[in-house]
Amino acid sequence: MVAVLIPALRVELSARECWQLYEWLGEHAPFVRNQLRVIRQGGSGDVKLATREERQEVLQAIEIGCRSLGSLTGGLRSLKMALAESDI
């Protein structure tokens, strides 16, 4: 389980969702990708979306990624909704 922290919000992702988000980000949001990589490789901690740009890049990656997936699982769906409803 991975926690993604957005100012004033916490969303939990499964290991699978973490991997999916990592892939969808591609070369975008390098600090977020690095945090996801460390956690995927057995590290622990939270992923922080500290900047507006990171939040926008994560939201965009989820929106593009879910087109090929068809639907989102619980954690990614919650993260997308939280980012879409926030002021990013």
pLDDT exceeds 70 at position 1: no
Burial class (CB in 10 A: 0-12, 13-18, 19+), 13: buried
**32-60 average pLDDT score:** 85
The three state secondary structure string of 11-61 is: EEECHHHHHHHHHHHCCCCHHHHHHHHHHHCCCCCEEECCCHHHHHHHHHH
pLDDT exceeds 80 at position 17: yes
Higher pLDDT, 86 or 49: 49
The band of 28, judged by pLDDT with boundaries at 50, 70 and 90, is very high
In the chain, the number of structural domains is: 1
The band of 66, judged by pLDDT with boundaries at 50, 70 and 90, is confident
Range of the structural domain that residue 43 is part of: 2-85
